[in-house]
Structure 1
Amino acid sequence: MASTVREDDPFRDPHDPLLAATPQPQPHRSADCPGEHMNVPDTLAVGRNASLSLGTDSLIVLETKSTRSIAFYNILWAEHAEDGQVTIQYAQTVSKKAVRPALISYTLDKPDSQLAEAWIEKLLDRAYGTAQRRKRIKVLLNPFGGQGGAVKMYHKLIAPIFAAARCELDVAKTQHQGHGVEIARDMDIEAYDVVACCSGDGIPHEVWNGLGQRPDAARALHHVAVAQLPCGSGNALSINFNGTDSPSAAALAVVKGLRTPLDLASITQGDRRTLSFLSQAVGIVAELDLATEHLRWMGSARFTWGFLVRLINKTVYPADIAVKVEYDNKAAVREAYRTQAAKPPLSNHERTLPPPDAGLPSLKHGTINDALPSDWELIPHDHLGNFYAGNIAYMSPDMNFFPACLPSDGCLDLVRIRGDIARHTSLKSMMAIENGNFFDLEHVDYQKVSAYRIIPKRQREGYISIDGERVPFEGFQVEVHRGLGTVLSKSGHLCEAKGV
Structure 2
Amino acid sequence: MTGANLSEDLEKYCAKPMLEETFYILSKKNCVYRVKLIEKGLCLQKEYNGVVKSEIISIDDIIGCRCMRGKRLSNNCVCRPIQAKFNDPKVVDLKSQDIDENDISAYLYIYAYVLKNLKLLKSGQKREKMTVTLRFRGFERYEDNMKEAQKWKSTLKTLMVNRKMALSRKRSWEEGDGVNGPLTNGNMLVIPLIVSSDDYIILCDGVNGALTNGNMLVMNPCVTSDNKILIVLNPKSGVGKAREFFQSRVVPILTDAEIDYDVHVTSCPNDARNLMRKADLSKWKRGIVVLGGDGILYEIINGLMERPDWLNVLQTITLGIVPCGSGNGLAKSISHMSQEPHDQNPVLVSTLNIVQGVSTPMDLIRAQTKSQVVFSFLSIGWGLLADIDIESERIRAVGSQRFAIWSMARLIGLRTYQGTLSFLRVPEHKLSEHRKRSVVHSMSSQSLNFLSPLPSSKSFHSDSIDLETETPRTDCTISRHDSFHSVASVKSSFHSTGAGSSYQSLHEVGPVTMYGPTSVLPPLHQSLPSTWEVVEGEFIMVHAAYQSHLAGDCYFSPRSELYDGIMWLFYIKAGISRNNLFHFLLGLASGSHVKVPGVEMVPVQAFRLVPHSTGSYIVVDGEVVEYGPIQAEIFPGFMNVFATGDTKS
**TM-score, with length taken from structure 2:** 0.62
Question: 1:294-443 to 2 correspondence within 5 Å?
Answer: 294-327=394-427, 333=431, 336-339=434-437, 342=440, 360-368=516-524, 370-375=525-530, 377=532, 379-443=534-598
1:341 and 1:494 in contact (8 A); partners too = no
Deviation of 1:406 after TM superposition, in Å, equals 2.1
Deviation of 1:98 after TM superposition, in Å, equals 6.5
Q: Tell me if 1:233 matches 2:331.
A: no
Q: Tell me if 1:123 matches 2:156.
A: yes
Deviation of 1:122 after TM superposition, in Å, equals 4.4
CA separation in 2, counterparts of 1:308 and 1:63? 57
Deviation of 1:259 after TM superposition, in Å, equals 0.7
Of 162, 170, 177, the residue aligned with 2:254 is 162
Deviation of 1:396 after TM superposition, in Å, equals 1.6
5+ residue gaps, structure 1, are 1-38, 345-357, 496-500
Letter in 2 for 1:479: E
RMSD between superposed Cα atoms in Å = 3.2
2:417 and 2:614 in contact (8 A); partners too = no
The DSSP-based 3-state class of the residue aligned with 1:484 is: strand
Of 25, 29, 51, the residue aligned with 2:34 is 51
CA separation in 2, counterparts of 1:189 and 1:139? 12
CA separation in 2, counterparts of 1:379 and 1:44? 69
1:54/1:427 CA distance change after superposition, 3 Å: farther
Q: Find the counterpart in structure 1 of residue 636 from structure 2.
A: 482
Q: Find the counterpart in structure 2 of residue 75 from structure 1.
A: 62
Q: Find the counterpart in structure 1 of residue 93 from structure 2.
A: none
Deviation of 1:492 after TM superposition, in Å, equals 5.0
Deviation of 1:155 after TM superposition, in Å, equals 0.6
1:84/1:377 CA distance change after superposition, 3 Å: closer
2:65 and 2:256 in contact (8 A); partners too = no
Q: Find the counterpart in structure 2 of residue 87 from structure 1.
A: 109
CA separation in 2, counterparts of 1:248 and 1:67? 27
Letter in 1 for 2:326: S
1:108/1:237 CA distance change after superposition, 3 Å: farther
Q: Find the counterpart in structure 2 of residue 276 from structure 1.
A: 376
CA separation in 2, counterparts of 1:62 and 1:150? 41
Q: Find the counterpart in structure 1 of residue 367 from structure 2.
A: 267
CA separation in 2, counterparts of 1:63 and 1:109? 19
Letter in 2 for 1:45: T
Identify which range, 178-187 or 60-69, moves more after superposition: 60-69
The DSSP-based 3-state class of the residue aligned with 2:404 is: helix
Aligned length: 440
Q: Find the counterpart in structure 1 of residue 492 from structure 2.
A: none
Of 169, 191, 199, the residue aligned with 2:292 is 199
Identify which range, 280-289 or 299-308, moves more after superposition: 299-308
CA separation in 1, counterparts of 2:431 and 2:570? 12
Deviation of 1:266 after TM superposition, in Å, equals 1.1
Identify which range, 380-389 or 251-260, moves more after superposition: 380-389
1:100 and 1:161 in contact (8 A); partners too = no
CA separation in 1, counterparts of 2:259 and 2:578? 51
Q: Find the counterpart in structure 1 of residue 458 from structure 2.
A: none
1:341/1:158 CA distance change after superposition, 3 Å: farther
CA separation in 1, counterparts of 2:331 and 2:587? 22
Q: State the Cα deviation string for residues 417-461 of structure 1 (Å, max 9, x = none).
A: 22321122122223333233334444332222111110111x233
Q: Tell me if 1:151 matches 2:243.
A: yes
Deviation of 1:270 after TM superposition, in Å, equals 1.8
Deviation of 1:64 after TM superposition, in Å, equals 6.3
Of 117, 127, 136, the residue aligned with 1:107 is 136
2:570 and 2:599 in contact (8 A); partners too = yes
The DSSP-based 3-state class of the residue aligned with 1:73 is: coil
CA separation in 2, counterparts of 1:101 and 1:298? 34
Q: Tell me if 1:141 matches 2:174.
A: no
Q: Find the counterpart in structure 2 of residue 468 from structure 1.
A: 622
Q: State the Cα deviation string for residues 309-367 of structure 1 (Å, max 9, x = none).
A: 22223422221111111147xx98475243377599xxxxxxxxxxxxx9511111143
CA separation in 2, counterparts of 1:334 and 1:417? 25
CA separation in 2, counterparts of 1:381 and 1:491? 42
CA separation in 1, counterparts of 2:409 and 2:146? 67
1:376/1:224 CA distance change after superposition, 3 Å: same
1:198 and 1:230 in contact (8 A); partners too = yes
Deviation of 1:287 after TM superposition, in Å, equals 0.9
Q: State the Cα deviation string for residues 87-135 of structure 1 (Å, max 9, x = none).
A: 2133478996675684524224245777655544443455561256336
Deviation of 1:280 after TM superposition, in Å, equals 0.3
The DSSP-based 3-state class of the residue aligned with 2:273 is: helix
CA separation in 2, counterparts of 1:99 and 1:366? 52
1:492/1:178 CA distance change after superposition, 3 Å: farther
Q: State the Cα deviation string for residues 195-229 of structure 1 (Å, max 9, x = none).
A: 11110111110110011000011111221111111
**TM-score, with length taken from structure 1:** 0.79
CA separation in 1, counterparts of 2:328 and 2:400? 9
Identify which range, 295-304 or 153-162, moves more after superposition: 295-304
Identity %: 22
1:41/1:72 CA distance change after superposition, 3 Å: closer
Q: Find the counterpart in structure 1 of residue 507 from structure 2.
A: none
Q: State the Cα deviation string for residues 253-273 of structure 1 (Å, max 9, x = none).
A: 211142111111111112211
Q: State the Cα deviation string for residues 112-168 of structure 1 (Å, max 9, x = none).
A: 777655544443455561256336210011111111111111011101101110112
1:101/1:155 CA distance change after superposition, 3 Å: farther
CA separation in 2, counterparts of 1:200 and 1:214? 23
CA separation in 2, counterparts of 1:152 and 1:103? 28
Letter in 2 for 1:367: P
Q: Find the counterpart in structure 2 of residue 33 from structure 1.
A: none
CA separation in 2, counterparts of 1:319 and 1:460? 10
The DSSP-based 3-state class of the residue aligned with 2:422 is: strand
1:281 and 1:388 in contact (8 A); partners too = yes
5+ residue gaps, structure 2, are 1-15, 26-31, 70-104, 166-192, 197-226, 445-513
Higher RCO by CA contacts (8 Å cutoff, separation 6 or greater): 2
